[in-house]
């Protein structure tokens, strides 16, 4: 199956936004064993869009198009699709009904712009958008099947996962001389990509049916294993053998597989043991709390987070003694330990975590330059511990890796020595 | 001048990396008044690269190509360029000299792979790479001028800035009927895209030289204005007139322009007045604190944030009376007001903000279903105020829009009634 992507929008060709939608879709298609052959990006120019649709349709079996489906005057991708197919564009009663429902549910009037979203090429099939107004539209053009998606990333991803990929998968199942594939993503933290590479690549020659790949998704590094074989059973067996070998080498560095994110894994570990958690953050400024609370049901485990951005709040909220701050400064092992113990006590939580450091660009001392972060963990039957880390990169990167580091201190502790609540 | 980009590499079509090189180059070209017409991305497949080179050269005056210039077996972009032009590829003595110097300076032997980088299409012009080994190569193909750049972002940017853009600028200066452009992005919050469209599109006919465009970057909506005229002065004047007309209609909904983000604008407003800020977050879980503290120098304004994810912490950290929680529940106007006042007092800050609500997917009551959020603001000379909002979408979206809503309550208050500290 030959798949191409077409992305439209002036913002994509003038440097305003980066096309992350395609990265997402390419990765998901690759998981199905499909390598995208070409991505074309054009601005909001009618002849360019129409021409690109015709060209891609002449080459590909499936063309996935994004952008230009919204309510504004520069949204005319479907008009171009109608022109390319030589059919009129018409108001669709089903889509109009969806739009009316959606606007009514929000207590809003339909304005004339919104009506644009009900107009689709004659003969095309609309599919309801669970996250927004503009529907997914599916159209045949020559021998190609075209999928039109809104460019808003949340809507795009929901429609890719819920509607486009199942249809692509069904199409693959009917292909003759099919190669069967099986895929596993092993997710690691605190392991540089070069080290990950060094540890697993010696295993590759023993697994000839498995392609080893790597991807960096800061602060994590992922190992991609893809097995190919003439039957699904052989592909599954080859993948299972390679995965077991890699897991044996990587050990606890692998925190999860496939789509399981870090925060849900950690919260699940805590919840199953009946533990609760509290955090005190200085330089990460709420990043850890917001990452954990983004997970539905986090309130079962997460009790509270103190973003103590001033010395006063370090004392008021998490009980760091003013003498500790005066003697050792706010960025020190002693302050980090006092923050972790203090937030644990204040919240009555099983575990307390803390982070204090210099995220930059300002701040730092000769002994503790920008990028120095103290991470601490306090808990039951546990001598409070602090780790000092030196992180390279800008403010965002230091914050991101500091948050990952302190959370990983807790996960490794839970794996090594399960503690009863 | 018609400019296209061509990017090559399997990692770009399999979701491994996002093409940020193009975003960079598009922005720099747009600053020169050049809008890229098309970006094409293909994998490491010889006929695909050769074909894309021929197609782009037939359409464009300038084609900027990246990737596939390195030392490994999958680096064959210049071989495709030679094939497209019908010329042989030959070792270039000048490039060979640069490579020898570079390897000698680093005390390394030239390996056979490195020699690949000295082979360029006959008749092409090499330009030394200040940051790496593979040179920039400039080649004519039909009427188009082709620039071949390495894909490593650091090398790519250095060659774009130092070599490609000066040549593009020189080419523009010789164009007979040159179009000059001027650009402005107006950033709004709390204004749905369809309303933004309705408010400004009636202005468009009065500004025929300005193209109006829109983009959604949740929770914000942006208005894009691009003026085109035969001279820069006329383009600037047309843009200024359109911008003034739009600002008059949109008023305080416009919080900033071009690259200025929301949090820096708000922090700057507060800092210039000598104000400080504290936040108490329930359902947003640290999102507001982390957004504000991501800005360098935030500690001048931001004192502390309490992520009070349990009733107990709402009382302990921000002093919500247990009776208020018992009588009105944690998600209520009364609790939100008490949180805002309480965190302001606890931190000794000029302003206190709070958010409490049901982000979902669980929770909610018949009166306050999932998506209901109470946002409150407390400050000096100000009756504490609370706004109840109903937000659609998933947990991430509710949190995002709730955070934006409460911050905007503060920004609008500051604009309406500046308060001395």
CATH number at residue B166: 3.40.980.10
Q: Are residues B127 and B247 in the same domain?
A: no
| Per-residue tokens: A198 | 């060094």
CB contact under 8 A, A399 and B224: no
Query: Are A242 and A207 within 8 A, CB to CB?
Result: yes
Could you tell me if B388 lies within 8 Å of chain A, comparing CB atoms? no
Q: pLDDT tens for residues A186-242?
A: 999 988 777 888 889 899 899 999 988 777 677 898 888 889 898 889 999 999 999
Cβ within 8 Å, pair B346-A316:
yes
Are B140 and B192 members of one domain? no
- Is residue B324 within 8 A of residue B354, CB to CB? The reply is no
Within a domain: residue A50?
Answer: yes
Same domain, A332 and A373: yes
User: Does residue B419 carry a pLDDT above 60?
Assistant: no
d(CA A323, CA B169): 61
Same domain, yes or no: B279 and B193: no
CB within 8 A of B93, min separation 6: which ones? none
Residues 6+ apart with CB under 8 A from A188: A196, A220, A221, A222, A223, A250, A253, A254, A255
Same domain, A60 and A76: yes
What would the DSSP string read from start to end of B28-92?
A: HHHHTT----EEEEE-S-HHHHHHHHHHHHHH-SEEEEES--SSSTT--HHHHHHHHHT--EEE-
For an interface test with B, the pick among A133, A309, A349 (most B C-beta atoms closer than 10 Å) comes out as A309
Domain membership flag for residue A357: yes
Number of domains into which chain B is organized: 3
pLDDT digits (tens, 9 = 90+) for B346-389: 999 999 999 999 999 999 999 999 999 999 999 998 999 999 99
Angstrom distance (rounded) from CA A333 to CA A356:
9
Residue ending a domain, choose from B132, B154, B173: B173
End position of a domain, from candidates B203, B237, B257: B257
Q: Which of B81, B71, B69, B76 is nearest to B136 (CA)?
A: B69
Block residue for tokens 């082979």:
B119
Task: For chain A, list residues with pLDDT below 50.
Answer: 419-421
Same domain, A136 and A230: no
Give ∠ CA A8-A14-A17 in degrees, rounded to 5: 70
* Residue B116 resides in a domain: yes
User: HSE-up of A113 (CA within 13 Å, CB side)?
Assistant: 22
Q: Please say if the pLDDT value at position B5 is more than 50.
A: yes
Q: Is residue B43 part of a domain?
A: yes
A354 and A411 co-located in one domain: yes
Q: What residues of A are in contact with residue B258 (Cβ under 8 Å)?
A: none
Q: Which two tokens stand for residue A75?
A: 């949204």
- The answer to whether residue B421 is domain-embedded is no
The answer to whether residue A223 is domain-embedded is: yes
Residues A104 and A159 in one domain: yes
CA A332 to each of CA A281, A326, B299, B304: distance values in angstroms, whole numbers, following the listed order = 13, 11, 18, 19
Residue of B41, B196, B270, B398 for testing the chain A interface, max A β-carbons within 10 Å: B41
- Given A173, A191, A209, which residue is the final one in a domain? A173
Residues in chain A closer than 8 A to B312 (CB atoms): 303, 347-348
- Cβ pair B303:A312 closer than 8 A: yes
Contact yes or no for A38 and B360 at CB 8 A: no
To the nearest whole angstrom, how far is the Cα of A251 from the nearest Cα of chain B? 24
Flag whether pLDDT at B44 surpasses 50. Answer: yes
Query: A99 contacts in B (CB within 8 Å)?
Result: none
Torsion of CA A392, A398, A401, A403, to 10 degrees: 160
Decide if A421 is inside a domain. Answer: no
Q: Which residues between 157 and 216 in chain A have a beta carbon less than 8 angstroms from any beta carbon of chain B? A: 213, 215
| Separation in Å, CA A206 to CA A201, A209, A234 | 10, 9, 15
The alpha-carbon gap from A301 to the nearest alpha carbon of chain B, in Å, equals: 10
| Contact partners, residue A131, CB within 8 Å, separation at least 6 | A152, A154, A155, A158, A159, B393, B394
Write down the pLDDT at residue A232.
87
- Tell whether A310 and A385 lie within a shared domain: yes
B408 token code pair: 């905007």
Q: Would you call A68 an interface residue with chain B, using a CB distance cutoff of 8 Å?
A: no
The pLDDT value recorded for residue A421 is 42
Q: Are residues A332 and A314 in the same domain?
A: yes
* Host domain of residue B22: 3-173
The pLDDT value recorded for residue A417 is 66
The pLDDT of residue B421 = 41
Please give the mean pLDDT across all residues of chain A: 93
- Say if B410 falls within a structural domain: yes
A289 plus A368 within the same structural domain: yes
Contacts of A114 in chain B (CB under 8 A): 194
Strand segments (E) across B150-291 = 180-189, 210-217, 220-229, 254-257, 277-281
A244 touches chain B (CB under 8 A): no
- The pLDDT score that the predictor gives to residue B220 is 93
What is residue A366's DSSP assignment? S
User: Tell me, what CATH number does B323's domain have?
Assistant: 3.90.950.20
CATH number at residue B196: 3.30.70.2860
* Rounded-to-integer distance, Cα A196 and Cα A251, Å: 12
Give the residue on B whose Cα is nearest the Cα of A25: B15
Q: Quick check: A72 and B303 CB within 8 A?
A: no
Nearest to B283 by CA among B151, B379, B394: B394
Examine the domain organization and report whether B210 and B355 are in the same domain.
no
The answer to whether B293 contacts A285, with C-beta atoms less than 8 Å apart, is yes
């Amino acid at each position: 199956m030959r798949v191409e992507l077409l992305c439209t929008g002036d913002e994509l060709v003038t440097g305003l936004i980066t096309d992350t939608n395609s990265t997402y879709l390419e990765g998901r298609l690759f998981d199905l064993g499909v390598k995208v052959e070409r991505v074309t990006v054009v601005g909001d120019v009618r002849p360019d869009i129409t021409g690109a649709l015709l060209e891609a349709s002449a080459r590909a079996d499936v063309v996935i198009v994004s952008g230009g489906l919204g309510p504004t005057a520069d949204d005319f991708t479907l008009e171009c699709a109608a022109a390319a197919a030589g059919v009129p564009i018409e108001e669709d009663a089903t889509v109009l009904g969806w739009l009316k429902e959606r606007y009514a549910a929000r207590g809003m009037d339909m304005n004339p712009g919104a009506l644009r979203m009900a107009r689709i090429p004659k003969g095309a099939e609309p599919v309801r958008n669970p996250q927004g107004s503009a529907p997914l539209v599916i159209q045949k053009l020559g021998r190609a099947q075209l999928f039109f998606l809104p460019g808003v990333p949340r809507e795009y991803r929901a429609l890719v996962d819920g509607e486009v990929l199942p249809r692509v998968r069904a199409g693959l199942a009917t292909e003759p001389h099919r190669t069967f594939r099986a895929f596993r993503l092993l997710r690691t933290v605190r392991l540089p990509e070069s080290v990950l590479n060094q540890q697993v690549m010696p295993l590759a020659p023993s697994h000839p049916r498995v392609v080893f790949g790597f991807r960096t998704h800061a602060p994590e590094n992922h190992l991609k294993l893809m097995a190919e074989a003439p039957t699904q059973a052989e592909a599954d067996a080859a993948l299972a053998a390679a995965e077991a070998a890699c897991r044996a080498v990587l050990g606890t560095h692998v925190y999860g597989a496939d789509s399981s994110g870090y925060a849900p894994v950690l919260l699940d570990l805590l919840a199953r043991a009946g533990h609760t958690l509290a955090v005190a953050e200085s330089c990460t400024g709420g990043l850890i709390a917001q990452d954990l609370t983004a997970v539905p049901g986090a309130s079962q485990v997460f009790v509270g987070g103190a973003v103590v951005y001033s010395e006063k709040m370090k004392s008021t909220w998490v009980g760091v003694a003013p003498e500790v701050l005066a003697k050792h400064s706010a960025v020190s092992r002693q302050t980090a330990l006092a923050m972790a113990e203090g937030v644990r006590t204040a919240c009555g939580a099983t575990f307390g975590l803390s982070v204090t450091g210099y995220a930059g660009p300002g701040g730092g001392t000769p002994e503790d330059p920008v990028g120095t972060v103290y991470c601490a963990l306090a808990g039951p039957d546990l001598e409070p511990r602090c780790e000092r880390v030196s992180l390279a990169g800008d403010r965002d990167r230091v914050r991101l890796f500091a948050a990952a580091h302190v959370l990983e201190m807790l996960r490794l502790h839970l794996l090594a020595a399960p503690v009863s609540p």
